[in-house]
Structure 1
Amino acid sequence: MKIKNIPVDLIDVADENVRKNFSFGKDSSDQLMKEHLAKFELLQPVVVRFDNFTKRYKLLIGRRRFLALHNKGEKEIPAVITKLKGAEAEAASLFENLIRKDLSPLEKARMVKKLVESTKSGITGVSRLYGLPKSTISEWLSILTLPNQIQEKIENCEITLYEGIKIARQPTEVQINLADIEPAALKEELIRLGIKRGAPKGLLTVRLVFNPSKEKDRILWNSLEEKAKEKGYEVNDFVKEIILNYLKKGK
């Protein structure tokens, strides 16, 4: 991989860059990038393609790094020059953005969808090229099939990504009901459906905590889990049966 310093004023953001039309400088991650580059050198080069027609470079990967250095007044930027273009270039840009931590679940889901659409063999191709499990890709895509109201709840953090994926496995009528339900009743309904962990209102609960770092707790848990499986029970149901049998013997 050859890295070359390229004049900043010879670089344009490529059409294939998936964040080309996003604003820069307003969100906290942009500010952090600018503050970091104001103090330190750029460690990761951007990726560009040379355009023979315009005699300029097209930025494929590293838009925020490029804009931050541009704002800083730098004249040159370290860059890797590639021949990627079209769908391949867009796929590379998508994956670069997909691994960012500051994207919302829906932003990532939309990027996964575009990545699948721009990669040969779809889900299988993305899985093979980028090492993402096919099941994970399918789960990301599934939240885009949810009613818009539920997608908004995910965006607003009223529903987690994990819960959204589980909702996508529910029948359509259940999804529609959850989309229309009032926020105050949403949690209880998710618990009732087994989508959210917890106990519905009115139930009496007992909480047992096992610390796997303690040998006694670990042995006890493993024993409970093994016995529960033998009887076809979940551990909590098996423990409940043990308690009931103990109380019956005490009578």
Structure 2
Amino acid sequence: MSDVKTQDPKRRALGRGLEALLPSRQTAPAPTPAPAAQTPSGKPLEVDVTAIVRNPFQTRTRFDEDALNELAQSVAATGVVQPIVVRALPGGKYQLIAGERRWLASQRAGKKTIPVIVREVSDEQAMEMTIVENLQRADLNPMEQARAYDRLGREFKMTQEQMAQRTGKERASVANFLRLLKLPQAVQEKVEGGELSFGHARALLALESEAQMLAAAQKIVALSLSVRGTENYVKGLLDPERKLGKVKADEEPEIDPNVKAAQDKLQRSLGLKVRIEDTRGKGRVVIEYSNLEDFDTLLTMLSAN
């Protein structure tokens, strides 16, 4: 097998495990482990849960208590199936790199030890591995993801394209998460607390000022608006005519395919522009004419029918 340092950087992505995420980064030597720490061998070790300390680079700040309790029940019944990843610290301690939920659940389950894989990594490697591992998971809230990408950019000078390659995401997705950091702090807190979704937050970014964003966010939460409703509400704030219900000539409202077919049939029969506004079987038919001749022709056709 060739030296990992000669591999194409584009191949250092998902599917190879955390230990393969950072093989080619040039970093400072890892700190010498304390005598009690065993040399990494790739084999799980049973380590006292109290000897493990939380990673200060952890991206996740909130945990679902119900989900954590369910995991604790599973750990109590069957143990920890997948070892957590740690690095050795002086004094016989270990610092988490990946697997904080399993570690917390083990404590709740009353476990004395937990299986671990020990890795020799520097501070920089531990930080990047923790952030990337978290971003590959689906349980980070949007603001946690946004701050994680921002930290990768600031701490490691990564471009959005590089972040996308490391985490297996689309570059556009990375850019959209980073844009959330432009929201006012109060709005970010609503997103982080689950009051507003990623879709709500993206829609709010179209507004021009932080004051507008905050006021709109409060109304969205108060009215329990959907993402689609939020998008329409924001468009109404940006376009007063739309807010009053006036649709621009170059915009086509979304309609049911059956209604669209009936609308097209009427237009072909009358030779005039027809608009059917339907809401659950109720609505109106609007026939447009541009001059009196068209109007007279329409009357004649309707009278003849």
Give the TM bin, normalised by the shorter chain: 0.5 to 0.7
In the alignment, residue 11 of structure 1 is paired with which amino acid?
I
Query: Which of 223, 227, 234 matches 1:190?
Result: 234
In the alignment, residue 101 of structure 2 is paired with which amino acid?
R
Alignment correspondent of 2:208: 172
Does the aligned pair in 1 maintain the 2:51–2:94 contact within 8 Å? yes
Distance 1:139 1:243 in 2: 43
The percent identity for this pair of structures is 21
Query: Which of 76, 80, 93 matches 1:42?
Result: 80
Question: How far did residue 92 of structure 1 move?
Answer: 1.5
Query: Which of 37, 43, 47 matches 1:3?
Result: 43
Partner of 2:91, secondary structure, is coil
Query: Which of 72, 83, 94 matches 2:120?
Result: 83
Distance 1:206 1:12 in 2: 54
Does the aligned pair in 1 maintain the 2:147–2:181 contact within 8 Å? yes
| TM-score, scaled relative to structure 2 | 0.57
Partner of 1:172, secondary structure, is coil
Query: Which of 54, 62, 81 matches 1:13?
Result: 54
Does the aligned pair in 1 maintain the 2:86–2:119 contact within 8 Å? yes
Give ranges in structure 2 of 5+ residues lacking alignment. 1-18, 20-41, 248-252, 273-297
In the alignment, residue 117 of structure 2 is paired with which amino acid?
V
Alignment correspondent of 2:130: 93
Question: How far did residue 203 of structure 1 move?
Answer: 7.7
Question: How far did residue 162 of structure 1 move?
Answer: 2.5
1:116 to 2:139 alignment = no
Distance 1:151 1:71, change over 3 A: closer
Distance 2:271 2:193 in 1: 49
Superposition misfits of 4+ residues, deviation over 6 angstroms: 203-206
Give ranges in structure 1 of 5+ residues lacking alignment. 211-235
Distance 1:45 1:136 in 2: 30
Distance 1:208 1:245 in 2: 19
Question: How far did residue 143 of structure 1 move?
Answer: 1.0
Query: Which of 208, 211, 217 matches 2:256?
Result: 208
Distance 1:246 1:79 in 2: 75
Question: How far did residue 239 of structure 1 move?
Answer: 8.8
Does the aligned pair in 2 maintain the 1:46–1:65 contact within 8 Å? yes
- What is the RMSD computed on CA atoms of the aligned residues? 3.8
Query: Which of 271, 280, 287 matches 1:248?
Result: 271
Distance 2:243 2:102 in 1: 48
Alignment correspondent of 2:166: 129
Distance 1:76 1:127 in 2: 36
Question: How far did residue 154 of structure 1 move?
Answer: 3.5
Distance 1:140 1:78 in 2: 34
Does the aligned pair in 1 maintain the 2:57–2:131 contact within 8 Å? no
Larger Rg: 2
In the alignment, residue 118 of structure 1 is paired with which amino acid?
E
Partner of 1:121, secondary structure, is coil
